[in-house]
Structure 1
Amino acid sequence: MAARGEAPIGVARPSEPLREVLVVPGAEVSARWVHLPTRSHAQALAAARLHLADQLALAEEDLHVAIGPLEDDGYRLVVVTARRLLQGWLAGAALHGVFPDVVLPDHLMLPAPPEERLVGAFLGGVMAVRGRRLALTLEPDLAALVLQGREIEMIDGAEAVEGALATAAADPVINLLQGEFDLGRESRLDWLNLKRAAMLGGALALSIPILFGAQVLRDHMAAVSLERQATRAAAAVLPQGQAIVDPAAQTRTRLHDLQLAAGGGPTALIAALFTALEGIGDSQLEGLVLSPDGSVRARISYGQISDVELFREAMGSAGVTAREEATQEEGARIVSDVILGARS
């Protein structure tokens, strides 16, 4: 570790070239390993988005998905966050003169342990946990509940933690800067688009008489192509040999099972719950139960009835479905039972 400290806004950065890695809150980034055996990055990304679209409480336009390299058994690391959050993190870094080459969630800065072991580290008051195919960030008090009592080997001492972070920064397992956030891709596309525009301009002059006659055929072929793409995408992620009847429904069910196995679903809901409660002064979590369907049941007490509406607004802003089962007075407190992430 060469240096540590805070970087005030407006202070000039060192002139020598540096590899800059921005570490973002893992509670806001879901990581899971999905079976995507295709070698095409574009096809794997499309299949991953197809799985995730109906499973995460994010609008399609706010969904940012990054995928890792293909592993030997056909799995890929898939990392998901809100596009607006990534934009905010990059904007905040820019204020400090940091323009990262790599963006990683804190839980993926820990080394992946062998076999079924878990390693953990305390990072800024939260606990990051990493397994062979598991990565999440959560409140320390929830670790035993969420991880079902599995033993965690903690990385102790600032020097050991910094060593782990430095190792991950030198060889990141994934980079959130993909798609529209990949600056290298933008520079490559500038040249490619220029060549493509010149070629299309010449082709357009020759093809105008043909275009109108081919419109109906092209529309039909496009529809057939989309249907085939949906079937191929489903086949890429469903268990081998499973008959494909309804690609969308089957992939949603498959993703739900994978999400529960990776610890992504309930953990994301719990993180959103704690974030909401932190913003409501006299609120307190009285009970928490994880349901088999991936939803979370919580009992919350408030200091006043108006806090219930504040909680609804906070969960709505986080994109989390919160269904209120009952709200009643108990002594001087208002107590609500809610279900987070319940399927409609």
Structure 2
Amino acid sequence: MKPTRLILIPALAGDPAPYLVIGTGGYVLERGVLSMEAVEQPEPMRTVAVAPGADVLIRWVDLPPASAAQQRAAALWALKDDLAAAPDRLSVALGPVPASGEPRLVTVVSLSLLDAWTDYLSGLGVRADVLVPDVLTLTEPLDDSLTAVAFGDAIALRGRRFAASVQSDLVDLVAHGRTVEPVDDTALIERALVQAALAPLVDLTPTRQREAAESRRGWGRAAALAAAVVLSPLVLMIAGAARDDMAASHADDQALSEIARVDPELARTSDPVAALRGRVRAAPPPGGVMAATAALFTAVEGVPDAELDMLVVDPEDGMKAAVTHADYSDIQTIDAAMRASGLTVTETGTEDNAGRVVSDITIGAAR
């Protein structure tokens, strides 16, 4: 197990940042402080940054069974009365998947604040692999009491399905009659930080870019496999080669030979495999674009209060659309209707917009 660095981001950007280096078994190998004036760059390693919890909204919310993207959108809608910023200026992170029927941990933080924390850490010469609010480094008590730990000038309060960082003079008000158990033992606090670094409860770092990249890769793979029965069995050989790196070279040679046999024009291109994949992506859905469009209009019209906002057929990316609807389950209804026409709908993004749900979808062949 490689060492992990844990950094406490201070409330003021000009202040230095205390850190721990944690080794195998959770032992602290090093303690110190990072500052902007440091001459030497910190050693590269996995880094967990602990952010001020006062800047993070933390709730436990009942969410519908759905994808992570749909649950984040549902959480924003459920917490809309507690949020002062527009949804597109906020980042939502979810905690571990709870047991059936239990609420899920949800954290919401401003994207501009995330940028500020990232810039501060960059100034120290580090990058956070995981970002967690300080109050969620504390262990949830088993009873109805609140654990209280001071992080700078703020007091982190941790209870059963409760977490908040407040000013010291507001502790009694927030506790609302619950017993407050202060923890002043630095060894206990450090142990909690170590456990949080090794197994963080939530990660505040935005995931939109990674999800978008994964969505693009997934679209390409789905398009290639969906058109396999129309174009040629050699697509399956290409897919198999991609899944098996050990046999990639041999499989590529076989694929190129098969391409030359089936389509000499493709074989004369500089990258026959890429040319084939491009042809697959550009292929219209089963029945043609017009048939797919008609099926989509019919499916959307069959869902109350649903509207088709945008429909794009791109030679590179295929057929995509944006649908505004009322309920998170509406896309499943649209997908079921499309499957009757031999098509399928894949949801690639969801966001809340003024009380409505906007979903980005792709249309392909049903498998």
TM-score, with length taken from structure 2: 0.55
Corresponding residue number in structure 1 for 2:103: 75
Q: Which residue of 1 aligns with 2:271?
A: none
41-50 vs 163-172, greater mean Cα deviation: 41-50
Change beyond 3 A, Cα 1:51–1:113: same
Aligned pair partner of 1:108 in 127, 136, 153: 136
Per mean C-alpha deviation after superposition, the further-off stretch among 217-226 and 113-122 is 217-226
Residues 96-245 of structure 1: pairs in structure 2 closer than 5 A = 96-180=124-208, 185=211, 188=214, 191-192=217-218, 195=221, 201-207=279-285, 210-222=288-300, 224=302, 230-232=326-328
Q: 2:119 matched to which residue of 1? A: 91
Q: Matched residues in 2 for 1:13 and 1:170: separation?
A: 23
Change (3 A) 1:159 1:188: same
Instruction: Tell me, yes or no, if the aligned pair for 1:11 and 1:97 is still in contact at 8 Å.
Output: no
Distance 2:292 2:212 in 1: 33
- C-alpha deviation, 1:146, in angstroms: 2.0
The code of the aligned residue for 2:139 comes to P
One-letter amino acid of the structure 1 residue matched with residue 143 of structure 2: E
Cα distance in structure 2, aligned partners of 1:138 and 1:105: 13
Supply the RMSD in Å over aligned alpha carbons: 3.3
CA contact (8 A) 2:141 2:158 kept: yes
CA contact (8 A) 1:22 1:100 kept: yes
1:47 to 57, 63, 74: 74
**Which residues of structure 2 form unaligned runs of 5+?**
1-27, 225-276, 307-324, 331-351, 357-367
Structure 2 CA distance for partners of 1:201 and 1:80, relative to 1, 3 Å: farther
Compared with structure 1, are the counterparts of its residues 96 and 181 closer, same or farther at alpha carbon in structure 2 (3 Å cutoff)?
A: farther
Q: CA deviation at 1:209?
A: 8.1
SS of 1:231's partner is coil
Pick closer, same or farther for the CA change 1:142–1:217 going to 2, 3 Å. same
Q: What CA distance in whole angstroms lies between the structure 2 residues aligned with 1:224 and 1:94?
A: 51
The question of whether the paired residues in 1 share the 8 Å contact of 2:72 and 2:94 is answered with yes
Determine if contact 1:32/1:77 at 8 Å carries over to the other structure. Answer: yes
Paired residue total: 234
- Superposed CA offset, 1:161-208 (max 9, x none): 2222122111111111242265xx577557546546765752533449
Structure 1: runs of 5+ lacking an equivalent: 235-247, 253-344
Q: After alignment, is 130-139 or 113-122 more displaced?
A: 113-122
Distance 1:12 1:187, change over 3 A: farther
How far 1:87 sits from its partner (Å)? 1.6
> 1:85 Cα deviation (Å)?
0.9
**Alpha carbons of 1:13 and 1:224: their partners in 2 closer, same or farther (altered >3 Å)?**
farther
Deviation (angstroms), 1:29? 0.3
Between the aligned partners of 2:219 and 2:98, the Cα distance in structure 1 is 32
Identity of counterpart residues, as a percentage? 32
In 2, are the aligned partners of 1:11 and 1:96 still within 8 Å (CA)?
no
